Amino acid sequence: MGKIVARKETGKLCFDFRYLGKRCREQTTLDDTPANRRKLMKIMEKIEAEITLDSFDYGRYFPNSPRAETLSKRALKRQGGYRETPLLGEFAETWFAEKEIEWRNSQIRTVRSSLDRHILPQLGEKEVGSITRADILEFRSSLAKVTSRSGKKLSASRLNHIMTPLRMMLNEAADRFEFSSPYRGIKSLRVPRTDVQPFTLEEVWRIIDNVRPDFRNYYTVRFFTGMRTGEIDGLPWANVDFSRRQILVKESLVHGEVVATKTDGSSRAIDMSEPVYQALRAQQQVTGDQRLVFCNRVGNALDHQNVTKRIWYPLLDALELSRRRPYQTRHTAATLWLAAGENPEWIARQMGHTTTEMLFRVYSRYVPNLTRQDGSAFEKMLRQQVPQSSQAPEDPETECVVAEEVSHAR
CA gap 223, 206 in Å, rounded: 12
In this structure, are residues 238 and 346 in contact, taking their beta carbons and an 8 Å threshold? no
Q: What percent of the chain has pLDDT above 90?
A: 56
Distance CA(146)–CA(122), nearest Å, equals 13
Task: Give tens-digit pLDDT for 184-231.
Answer: 999 999 988 777 899 999 999 999 999 999 999 999 999 999 999 999
Which region, left, alpha or beta, applies to residue 349 given φ > 0 means left and ψ of -120 to 50 means alpha?
Answer: alpha
Task: Band the pLDDT of 401: cuts 50, 70, 90.
Answer: very low
Residues constituting the chain: 410
Q: How far apart are CA 195 and CA 402, in angstroms?
A: 39
Superfamily of domain 201-369 in CATH is Intergrase catalytic core (1.10.443.10)
> String of b and e for 272-308 (b: at least 16 CB within 10 Å)?
bbebbbebbeebeeebeebebbbbeeeeebbeeeebe
Least confident piece of the model among 51-55, 157-161, 231-235, 348-352: 51-55
Q: Which of 229, 67, 96 is nearest to 166 (CA)?
A: 96
Q: What is the reported pTM?
A: 0.61
pLDDT at 262: 67
Model confidence over 354-383: pLDDT tens digits? 888 888 888 877 665 554 444 555 556 556
Contact 92, 120 (CB under 8 A): yes
Check the CA dihedral 283-284-287-290 and report its sign: positive
Four-residue CA torsion sign, 393, 398, 399, 405: negative
Domain ranges of the chain: 3-79, 88-177, 201-369
Architecture category of domain 88-177 in CATH:
Orthogonal Bundle (1.10)
